Amino acid sequence: MRYRFVDCRWSLDDPAAGRRAYLDGHIPGAAFLDVEQSLSSAPGPEGRHPLPTPEQFAGAAARAGIGAGSFVVAYGSLGGAERLWWLLRHFGHEDCAVLDLEAWHGPLRGGEETIEPATFTPAERTDDAIGRAELAARRAELVVVDARIPPRWRGEPNPLDRVPGRIPGAVNAPWNEELPPLPGGELVAYCGSGITACVTLHRLHLAGRDGRLYPGSWSEWEQGPDLPVERST
pLDDT beyond 70 at 185: yes
CATH for 132-221? 3.40.250.10
| Residue limits of CATH 3.40.250.10 in the chain | 2-103, 132-221
Question: In terms of CATH architecture, what is 2-103?
Answer: 3-Layer(aba) Sandwich (3.40)
Percent above pLDDT 70 for the chain: 100
User: Catalytic residue among 8, 96, 191, 198, which?
Assistant: 191
Task: Tell me the mean pLDDT in the region 106-112.
Answer: 97
Average pLDDT, the chain: 97
Note the pLDDT tens digit of each residue in 213-232: 999 999 999 999 899 999 99
Q: How many Å apart are CA 211 and CA 205, to the nearest integer?
A: 8
Task: Tell me the mean pLDDT in the region 116-144.
Answer: 97
Task: Tell me the mean pLDDT in the region 46-61.
Answer: 98
Is 191 a catalytic site residue?
yes
Predicted confidence at residue 1, as pLDDT, reads 85
Note the pLDDT tens digit of each residue in 137-156: 999 999 999 999 999 999 99
Task: Tell me the mean pLDDT in the region 154-173.
Answer: 97
pLDDT beyond 80 at 233: no
Task: Tell me the mean pLDDT in the region 81-97.
Answer: 98
pLDDT beyond 70 at 172: yes
Q: What is the pTM of this model?
A: 0.97
